[in-house]
Chain A
């Protein structure tokens, strides 16, 4: 049986959804994008031109819920299926868009550079429990206008896994789409085999900015999947009660859903978010808060109830280093998320309120992901009934180490973490240098990056990607891209 967790009963879900829809229709949602506003008007939605408030109606919400796909898949750079976003399937992807990197050598934070990003991408190739890449850091050594597209370029160049990403501006979308079309060969093939997911954030409370509305339109036109990242902050920018926050999240997310679906019915989406229970002592938005995690799991239940695939920023930590707090918050979040069956879990590698990325933490989190993926396989009977023969064998042989039964099920019944976790006895641990988890993680990083080899994407396509990126950089006065070691 697959273990599962639930925070909401169906009746409460229905009340929350109906309340969210009521807010969308009666209070309305502010939308600051003229193209989107006229599209909505064309679809019979009432708007107040002075306030940019859009008053949705029940039938347009119902239509969007019908046309949105129940599931979709992501395909890697070589068009192999890599991520299945359906049912209770769980896929991990690193946290995204960090401002800083925690430098493993100095243990200090600093702005990430193109070379840090490349190391990260190479490491991602080896993260066996993390199905997709994300554009995890924002490199500081390129012009800020290409700091979103350049990350995607490096990801597509150095690793085959699909990418969870997002544009910072309206203009950046074009090149980020063109990079993908270059890989897939045609717009049609990109739509048939999605390579990326774009994060699009409403601005709590109950508002969509010009940029994110336009990103929604552009993604929908090309059937590029989006995840709606609503960020209600309980007690501050949303009601303090978890139910109140969920109502707001529902209204913000369903309004995004309608916008995508009227542009292109059937365009793939994830019912996602990054809420936080605001900390009224420190003025912060903790991802490691248990209430934050409960909101994540609960809106995922609402998404599932509506028949939609889901996403959440969960399994991150607000610790500043790879310490016990980092471990406990990340594993608590990842465990809950896996039990809840959140389809795309954005978290590994991230510290400090989504602002700092650590490669060492990524390697440790990869093990957390591995354990939780094992956990949700649940407990299933194998050749266990009748049991008498295996016990007879045990009594006769005095052990089962080389029994056929053992050899057959050894791998499936346990998850074996990499060397980053210490499972040796004390003497052996001492003999091997009495290492800390950070030291072991650093060793693994060195080893894995050395093992990296170029991807199998054709050289001609790689060249095309570089040409596209160089052209984009030149627009902003950069005559060449940073040198990658």
Chain B
């Protein structure tokens, strides 16, 4: 087994110590940073994603793998920055103003991080201004909004309308989720996608990743 294969394997086992060790070893062996990231860490997480979908493993194992992934990412990040290799992208996420439901949003944030995205979690009860201010300041490509109440989902439209007014619409991707949401509603308010769970959120953001 090569170092890269072993790295992917240890990530799937959810072993942060070994992942850090192997990442360090790969760096020392002068393996291309992008190869370590794509063929080692991200490849491992993709296998995890597939197994989770197939019910071969359950959520805790996904999160363990994600944690192992961070251990490798922490070492790669400074090198990626130094070599000017773009990271997979930044996602701003939060539960909209008036909404205190954040369990699903938290889960999506963890899964996105696990897939290698940088995630800025604004928590719950987030105002439209805060979503957009942060997205601009952080130069994030994706804004994720969560609403679990029929009374708070109109806030998502406010965020998108404000984005239009600020000339950000079309430049940032807006994704939405939560029990009262649907693809139709997402379309109606002009969001780019509706995701029904963490796995679909990861797939969607991966799809968008090409744009920034």
Binding site for B on A (CB under 8 A): 99, 111, 138, 140, 144-145, 147-148, 168-169, 203, 209, 211, 233, 235-237, 280-283, 353, 355
- Complex contact A280–B58 (CB within 8 A): yes
> CB-nearest residue of chain A relative to B197?
A283
- Complex contact B151–A147 (CB within 8 A): yes
- In the complex, A355→B147 CA distance in Å? 14
**From DSSP, what is the main secondary structure of chain B's interface residues?**
loop
- In the complex, A382→B207 CA distance in Å? 72
Interface-central residue, A203, A283, A353, by most chain B CB under 10 Å:
A283
Please list the 10 inter-chain residue pairs (A to B) with the smallest Cβ-Cβ separation, ordered nearest first: A280-B59, A144-B151, A280-B58, A99-B180, A283-B197, A355-B179, A138-B150, A281-B55, A168-B151, A209-B100
Picked from A145, A281, A282, A353, the residue with its CB within 8 Å of the CB of B179 is A353
Q: Which of B141-168 contact A (CB under 8 A)?
A: 149-152, 154
Picked from B150, B179, B197, B198, the residue with its CB within 8 Å of the CB of A144 is B150
A281: B residues at CB distance < 8 A: 55, 58-59
CB-CB under 8 A for A144 and B154, given A280-B59, A281-B55: yes
- Complex contact B150–A140 (CB within 8 A): yes
- In the complex, A235→B58 CA distance in Å? 12
Interface residues as binary, B58-87 with A (CB distance below 8 Å gives 1, 0 otherwise): 111000000000000000000000000000
A233: B residues at CB distance < 8 A: 103
- Complex contact A237–B103 (CB within 8 A): yes
> CB-nearest residue of chain B relative to A201?
B100
Q: Is B209 close to A, CB under 8 A?
A: no
B152: A residues at CB distance < 8 A: 144
A283: B residues at CB distance < 8 A: 59, 104, 107, 197-198
Interface size on B, residues (CB 8 A): 17
- In the complex, A8→B152 CA distance in Å? 40
> CB-nearest residue of chain A relative to B196?
A283
- In the complex, A283→B55 CA distance in Å? 12
- In the complex, A203→B95 CA distance in Å? 14
A138: B residues at CB distance < 8 A: 150-151
| A-B pairs with beta carbons under 8 Å apart, 15 shown | A99-B180, A111-B150, A138-B150, A144-B150, A147-B150, A168-B149, A168-B151, A169-B151, A203-B100, A209-B100, A211-B100, A236-B103, A280-B58, A355-B179, A355-B180
B103: A residues at CB distance < 8 A: 233, 236-237
- In the complex, A148→B179 CA distance in Å? 18
B197: A residues at CB distance < 8 A: 282-283
Query: Besides the contacts A148-B151, A237-B103, what 15 more A-B pairs have beta carbons closer than 8 Å?
Result: A99-B150, A138-B151, A144-B150, A144-B154, A147-B150, A169-B151, A203-B100, A211-B100, A233-B103, A235-B60, A280-B58, A281-B55, A282-B197, A283-B197, A283-B198
Binding site for A on B (CB under 8 A): 55, 58-60, 100, 103-104, 107, 149-152, 154, 179-180, 197-198
Smallest CB separation, A151 vs chain B (Å): 12
> CB-nearest residue of chain A relative to B52?
A281
Smallest CB separation, A202 vs chain B (Å): 11
A140: B residues at CB distance < 8 A: 150
- In the complex, A233→B59 CA distance in Å? 14
- In the complex, A373→B152 CA distance in Å? 39
- In the complex, A139→B197 CA distance in Å? 26
A203: B residues at CB distance < 8 A: 100
A147: B residues at CB distance < 8 A: 150-151
A282: B residues at CB distance < 8 A: 197
A169: B residues at CB distance < 8 A: 151
Interface-central residue, B55, B104, B179, by most chain A CB under 10 Å:
B179
CB-CB under 8 A for A99 and B179, given A140-B150, A147-B151: yes
Interface-central residue, B151, B197, B198, by most chain A CB under 10 Å:
B151
B150: A residues at CB distance < 8 A: 99, 111, 138, 140, 144, 147
B180: A residues at CB distance < 8 A: 99, 355
- In the complex, A280→B52 CA distance in Å? 10
- In the complex, A209→B101 CA distance in Å? 11
- In the complex, A211→B179 CA distance in Å? 21
- In the complex, A168→B179 CA distance in Å? 16
A235: B residues at CB distance < 8 A: 60
- In the complex, A209→B149 CA distance in Å? 16
